[in-house]
Amino acid sequence: MRKLVIALVLNLIGSLAFSQAPLTRIAFGSCSEEESLEQMWSDIVAQRPQLWIWLGDNVYADTHDMNVLRTQYQKQKNNPEYQKLLKRCPVIGTWDDHDYGINDSGKNYTKKKESKEELLRFLGVSNDAEVRKHEGVYSSFTSGSGSKKVKVILLDMRYFRDTLYRSTVKGKRYELNETGDILGEEQWKWLENELKESDAALHIIGSSIQFISNDHGYEKWGNFPASRARLIQLLAKVKPKNTFIISGDRHIAEISKMTIPGLPYELYDFTSSGLTHTWSDKMTSEVNQSRVGNLIIEKTFGLIEIDWNVRQPRVTFSIRGYQDALYEKQVISFYTSR
């Protein structure tokens, strides 16, 4: 009977809802080298997640050859421990650059339509899912009902993204693209509608790159200041109930927060990366004026625990690693008069 229930849940991935049971444990991660002998799947399964979210670099293909990309996805999927995760809970996700196609690539990648098909195949997305009806891989999912409904909004940071400008400054990879966009107009309209029309009690926005952290010179929302400002303005205008961001990409883990005028709670960005590899020993620090707690330079995954037994959902962020390691924990509460 349990296998039947799991199968039914998995068949709904990509639809408007995939479960009516309240979510209390969500795991997520990014940057997983499918060839690595050191995988964290058994540690993730041990945390008993009800949902797994891929935030990109789900494999490292870096190719224009879709046969290569499909092969790498299949290696990841065939991992026996990852198969246990698939049997444990639904799996959803978006992409970043190495699984999209080419390192740090954007809208000019020539195989983006074909790559989309390979990602959806890997995730087991049904043929009638909404994500198949538009360009890009942005999507949303809801779970639970009433005052315990969670909405996960997964953004596509690659398919529509304008050009990154290389920097000549040592230690800084990119300069600002002052007028460039990340999401594209159709995705912006979709995102605003997803937030404005939502009746969820909790919103999780999945971004493959960091949103709040803005001091480093690598990929981030801050490389496109107009897009970063637009999302800030959107959140301030819509005021979606109880919202936070999860991100990946950086091969570090950290928690950042910021105050947005007009938003009745502090916005958090929970970064967890990577699953199989992290910074070298030579890189031991990085400025992030918005960081809460410590910079974690370990192989990690993120765990989100939701306590519904309070007036507003109380969320606990945990940065986890091998053998039940706990590197950082942050409890956030949402206080709003709405």
Tokens of residue 90, six digits: 């639904």
Residue 227 is part of which domain span?
19-333
The torsion region of residue 146 among left (phi > 0), alpha (psi -120 to 50) and beta comes to: left
* Domain total in the chain: 1
* Calculated CA dihedral for residues 178, 181, 185, 190, nearest 10 degrees: -120
What is the domain-level CATH number for residue 68?
Answer: 3.60.21.70
* Mean pLDDT in residue range 223-237: 98
Q: Are strands 243-247 and 165-166 parallel, antiparallel or unpaired?
A: unpaired
**Residues near 296 by Cβ (< 8 Å), separated by ≥ 6?**
252, 253, 254, 319, 327, 328
Rounded mean pLDDT, 86-91: 97
Q: With respect to residue 48, please indicate whether it lies within any of the assigned structural domains.
A: yes
Q: Measuring CA to CA, how many Å separate 139 from each of 84, 95, 104, 133, 202? A: 25, 12, 21, 11, 16
Mind listing the pLDDT tens digit for each residue in 233-279? 999 999 999 999 999 999 999 999 999 999 999 999 999 999 999 98
75: Cβ contacts below 8 Å, ≥ 6 apart: 34, 35, 59
* Segment 52-61, tens digit of pLDDT: 999 999 999 9
Partner residues linked to 83 by β-bridges: none
> How many C-beta atoms surround the C-beta of residue 246 within 10 A?
26
DSSP state of 323: G
- Give the mean pLDDT of 270-291: 90
pLDDT at 12: 40
β partners of residue 254:
271
Instruction: Name residue, tokens 């091998």.
Output: 322
Strand order in the sheet with 291-296: 17-19, 139-143, 150-154, 202-207, 243-247, 267-272, 253-258, 291-296
Q: Is 13 inside a domain boundary? A: no
- Single pTM value for the model: 0.93
181 in a domain, yes or no?
yes
136 lies in some domain: yes
**pLDDT for 321 beyond 60:** yes
Report if residue 9 sits inside a domain.
no
Name the least confident of 148-157, 168-177, 300-309, 315-324.
168-177
